[in-house]
Structure 1
């Protein structure tokens, strides 16, 4: 039996969740797993709803769309409202409680982290909240190896931002470690 996990990273346009999904899928491939990544966003370039979906499997991926995710990341209230109820029973809902103040009913286990606030405090730029979120997600689930995630990140970000993005990723790993929550992936 092969292990297959579905991830939905959601928030507002401009939060960098599409890039985070691409990096997560890239890291899975670097780990020797199969991965599929898809994305969608509203007609607005910034501020509209956006989501990235990633499927990671040890075996073949028969259907390339996320049907019922194991893990949902919600970086905005709109994303939480839209996707909190659409996660596997017992799955994981990670919310950025900087912006998500009301978590709708969900069959998932809910964990809130001040992702955007921590990005601002640690790096001076909320722009890298997506990397903090990726560090939290991977730190909690072990979806991909830390080394592959770092390599994928460095291969996909603009030159000159390596230190900033790595600091943000590390801050996310620290948040996950401090939470003492471990979700088998």
Structure 2
């Protein structure tokens, strides 16, 4: 596994910090080295927020994400700010409502997923968006085993919401699979045109 540098962004209250904690713990349970950090905008709820996790097989000497291997954004304002500093291989996962410029779509794998909508309409709990995002990120980069990810999710959610949150995690993984399948079909159509 190559070193993964994950940057989760959104607004306070969306659970992006908890998302990075869960994915870091899942990787740790699989025996990897992890570092997790976060920063808030001026308001904890509603202000912009960023959380980061570095995951590696080797010891991590520098604990700041410089160029993320993955950028997750749940709001347009956070995407606009944090998409300025990404590398050529950065995978971008955004909520489907976020407008990603064509120049970025041309150079990066962009997974535009119905994260917030699925939390409301499929899981019936808007607070599950971060768990859907965690499932999506893990599926996109294959960071941790599903068993470890489930354990990490269960360690950080309120009692009584286990079934709902595991369903949300699995839905996130499914959304990535579907998106990649659609992209593959689109590429094949272009090749045969």
> Normalised by the size of structure 1, how large is the TM-score?
0.91
Query: Number of aligned pairs?
Result: 180
| 1:11 Cα deviation from its structure 2 partner | 0.4
Q: Distance in 1 between matches of 2:18 and 2:173?
A: 18
**1:104-115 to 2 correspondence within 5 Å?**
105-106=103-104, 108-115=108-115
**1:92-103 to 2 correspondence within 5 Å?**
92-98=91-97, 100-103=98-101
| 1:179 Cα deviation from its structure 2 partner | 2.0
RMSD between superposed Cα atoms in Å = 1.7
| 1:12 Cα deviation from its structure 2 partner | 0.5
- Alignment correspondent of 2:67: 68
- Alignment correspondent of 1:120: 120
Deviates more, 1:30-39 or 1:87-96: 87-96
- Which has the greater radius of gyration? 2
Instruction: Give CA-to-partner distance per residue, 1:40-93, whole Å, 9 cap, x none.
Output: 111212110011100000111110110110100010001110111212112201
**1:1-185 to 2 correspondence within 5 Å?**
3-98=2-97, 100-103=98-101, 105-106=103-104, 108-180=108-180
Deviates more, 1:48-57 or 1:169-178: 169-178
Higher helix share: 2
Instruction: Give CA-to-partner distance per residue, 1:85-144, whole Å, 9 cap, x none.
Output: 21211220111013x134485453322011100111111111110011111111111011
Check conservation: 2:119, 2:125, Cα contact below 8 A. Answer: yes
- 1:172/1:140 Cα in 2 relative to 1: closer, same or farther (>3 Å)? same
- 1:53/1:101 Cα in 2 relative to 1: closer, same or farther (>3 Å)? same
Q: Distance in 1 between matches of 2:4 and 2:100?
A: 26
List alignment gaps of at least 5 residues for structure 1.
none
List alignment gaps of at least 5 residues for structure 2.
184-193
Check conservation: 1:34, 1:59, Cα contact below 8 A. Answer: yes
Check conservation: 1:7, 1:71, Cα contact below 8 A. Answer: yes
Q: Distance in 1 between matches of 2:88 and 2:152?
A: 30
SS at match of 1:40: strand
